[in-house]
Chains A and B, each alone.
Chain A
């Protein structure tokens, strides 16, 4: 990794520690105090940033645009949500062994797929295994049939839409359109306590940094070079003896699992998961974060996720009805004028100023030589 990369990570780690410390150790009326709102918002956006990096691995480096990544995010969220629902115990409205929504539906016992979800370890296994399995099966057939480009994007979009409809049904056993909410605790610790909030925040920051390091390893390995080659000239890759199927499938599954982990971190921080996370618009928004930040760079998606979501949290308060128009406009502007995103713009400006500096230098040398 280049030096700047490590510096960047170190600076990020510093902020990720400083904010929680200020949150816990300063009184609420102090000017240095960091509010609940900032901590929750920061944690939430870091989850989005993990998703954006995962999206960039498959889109920016693999050239495969998925418009269904919201599904993997939601599946991770639901998998951990099942544990959170079970951890409510008897403290629900109906004071039953079953989650409230099941009592409401007059169910007498847990469906089989809820078995074991009261153990956090099993729920962690589910967070990884379910999206990985779905991504593997879906990806295997799609890539084996050599489905590419816009066709692949449309199929992924249809997949997340179909799952949304499935999860909307009460009979599916995931709380229908209300989803899961009213969580009480994780491993016995209250979920709304400042300690828990800060723990989740730091955990998310650590996962984000690990995701970036993993991403860096993948894209600089020979695997990453083959992947980019598949993106640029797939037939040449085949004729020199690589089977693109397995390369695409590997990065596709890795990307899905990263999304799911982000989803699992997201749910306890926002306190709710429902099928709207699987809506087509959510998945499209993920692609916009990456496009705004800059594809095929690792820092780009993180920056994009922060820019768009900070704008969103301000916009949806100030002008709630115009947010989607603004998002659409942003996408058009970025596509037209910033094909390489914010990071691309920055690099272009830097290259230009470097060129100007060297011009000045040579001009100076020329005058000196004349003198």
Chain B
């Protein structure tokens, strides 16, 4: 455990041992003994006095599909930043499984541990082809040395082909990703997440800008992923959340306001107040 935490920045030259080499450092199994994949406890983050997160506590079960809603500025994106190592909390703890302290790992280390993130605005490599986007995302040893001598084997090609089919871009494999439609870019980014084989997927407004048809297909995809993966979906689209059908958490001013299934949450007085104002 302590060895995992102290080896922060290394991995330029393959060292042979698994310690101190980025690719292997946290790839050991995440300890899921209590059936919980993510714990956030009393997390606070403030920017220049503004409290983006205020004593936020949240836990996600293994295989769960959780939706997170909340008005603008409720802290949804900041919460994802904390989980993925982009923002360090001022106080509180964040654990992945029982043992991995997310507040002490870097972004690439967290990605290797098994957390994948989709941004609000589709973030893909616009100058690379669709195929290359998936190739780069694939779970593998991601150190410089390996990438210098890496070749594509049949296994890899098959995996990429499967994912292409799943995200319905198999006819676009050699197209430059920047030329895709908005919805296709969203799907490509989801495909990149899947190539990472993460245990936990964080999806920030995954269906924004999609057509109704695309939205529905995305919902089906997510439902099929739940169980094998755990998913946290931040969304505004209530119809989509209803389709997903999981537990819903409402964030407001940086902490949890309500939690439960969608109907319960929607009938909660405080939630109505926050959304409609008084």
Contacts and interface: CB of A to CB of B under 8 A. Distances in A.
Contacts of A240: 111, 116, 136-137, 142, 192, 196
Contacts, number: 86
A238 B126 contact: no
Given A229-B136, A246-B143, A223 B125 contact: no
- Consensus secondary structure, chain A interface: helix
Interface string A239-261: 11111011101100000000000
Interface in B127-151: 127-128, 132, 135-137, 139, 142-144, 147-150
Given A242-B142, A243-B22, A235 B123 contact: yes
A202 B127 CA distance: 37
Given A221-B150, A223-B147, A250-B12, A239 B116 contact: yes
A120 interface: no
Contacts of A249: 12
B192 A246 contact: no
Which of A229, A239, A249 has the largest count of B CB atoms less than 10 A from its CB? A239
Interface residues of B, number: 34
Given A241-B108, A243-B108, A233 B123 contact: yes
Interface string A144-180: 1000000000000000000000000000000000000
A232 interface: yes
Contact of B84 (A221, A239, A246, A250): A239
Contacts of B143: 246
Nearest to B149: A221
A228 interface: yes
B144 A250 contact: yes
Contacts of B126: 232-233
B9 interface: yes
A248 B93 CA distance: 32
Given A241-B112, A243-B22, A236 B124 contact: yes
Q: How large is the interface on A (under 10, 10 to 19, 20 to 34, 35 or more residues)?
A: 20 to 34
A53 B12 CA distance: 24
A236 B204 CA distance: 14
B150 A222 contact: yes
B147 A221 contact: yes
Given A225-B132, A243-B11, A247-B147, 9 more contacts: A221-B148, A221-B150, A228-B125, A238-B108, A238-B111, A239-B107, A242-B136, A246-B22, A247-B144
Interface of B: 9, 11-12, 22, 84, 86, 106-108, 111-112, 116-117, 119, 123-128, 132, 135-137, 139, 142-144, 147-150, 192, 196
| 10 A-B pairs closest in CB distance | A241-B111, A238-B107, A222-B150, A223-B147, A222-B147, A243-B108, A236-B123, A240-B137, A229-B125, A223-B148
